[in-house]
């Protein structure tokens, strides 16, 4: 029996987390860039969660991720990213440890309408030494802040990249992911601490 031999190495698979506060754009980001139909575990917000889910600034939000989002993007023939979007509400944070296992790094999506919601994700990755970038999701008709203003407001170290992005735009999200991979490579090469 003849076998087909391929000299091409299989692509390197990297696991990336997409984290941030409730309603920041995590599900949207994964869906915008995924080359496969993304797996979503969304449920409809109900009156039962009104005391738990703070919808200030995101009053039109009708669903929430209860486990994770999953997507995949091929950066080039030798590099594939697997994206795992985390749930935003603190009642689902027990899932983060499982989702973070084996992750190369993370994207923290920040919504300037609710910037304080980013602190938990930033603290999580800093405490674990997980490299991350901050992607400021620029919404229509919302005030745009400079990356330096966001850096100061979130008290982010100077070596952590902060990017302005649109979580709905494939190219914008792809640039965020490429920046994260480059950031991780730079950290490995220069042995800079992750946080």
Integer angstrom CA distances of residue 153 from 71, 101, 156, 162: 30, 29, 8, 12
Tell whether 157 is covered by a domain.
Answer: yes
| Domain count of the fold of the chain | 1
Tell whether 1 is covered by a domain.
Answer: no
Integer angstrom CA distances of residue 87 from 25, 26, 40, 74, 94: 11, 8, 11, 24, 10
For residue 26, the Cα-to-chain-centroid distance in whole angstroms is: 6
* Residue 44 φ/ψ, nearest 5 degrees: -75, 135
Kindly tell me if the per-residue pLDDT of 36 is higher than 80: no
* Residue 170 φ/ψ, nearest 5 degrees: -55, -50
Tell whether 4 is covered by a domain.
Answer: no
Q: What is the dihedral of CA 190, 191, 194, 195, to 10 degrees?
A: -90
Domain range enclosing 137 = 12-190
Kindly tell me if the per-residue pLDDT of 51 is higher than 90: no
Kindly tell me if the per-residue pLDDT of 89 is higher than 90: no
Tell whether 183 is covered by a domain.
Answer: yes
Q: Which residue has the tokens 């000299």?
A: 7
Question: What is the arithmetic mean of pLDDT over 152-159?
Answer: 91
For residue 103, the Cα-to-chain-centroid distance in whole angstroms is: 12
Tell whether 112 is covered by a domain.
Answer: yes
117 pLDDT band, cuts 50/70/90, is confident
Kindly tell me if the per-residue pLDDT of 106 is higher than 90: yes
CB 105 within 8 A of CB 170: no
Tell whether 7 is covered by a domain.
Answer: no
Tell whether 3 is covered by a domain.
Answer: no
| CATH number assigned to the domain comprising residue 19 | 3.40.50.300
Tell whether 129 is covered by a domain.
Answer: yes
pLDDT for residue 1: 46
pLDDT for residue 37: 78
């Amino acid at each position: 029996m003849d076998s087909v031999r391929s000299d091409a190495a299989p692509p390197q698979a990297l696991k990336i987390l997409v984290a941030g506060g409730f309603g920041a754009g995590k599900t949207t980001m994964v869906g915008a860039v995924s080359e496969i139909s993304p797996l979503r575990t969304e449920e409809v917000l109900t009156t039962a969660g009104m005391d738990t889910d703070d919808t200030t600034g995101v009053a039109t939000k009708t669903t929430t991720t209860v486990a994770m989002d999953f997507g995949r993007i091929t950066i080039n023939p030798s590099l594939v990213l697997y994206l795992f979007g985390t749930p935003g509400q603190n009642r689902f944070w027990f899932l983060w440890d499982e989702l973070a296992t084996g992750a190369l790094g993370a994207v923290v999506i920040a919504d300037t309408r609710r910037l304080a919601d980013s602190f938990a994700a930033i603290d999580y990755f800093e405490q674990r030494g997980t490299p991350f970038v901050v992607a400021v999701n620029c919404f229509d008709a919302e005030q745009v802040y400079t990356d330096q203003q966001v850096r100061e407001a979130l008290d982010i170290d100077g070596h952590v990249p902060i990017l302005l992005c649109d979580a709905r735009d494939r190219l914008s999200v792809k640039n965020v992911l490429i920046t994260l991979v480059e950031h991780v490579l730079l950290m490995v090469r220069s042995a800079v601490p992750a946080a």
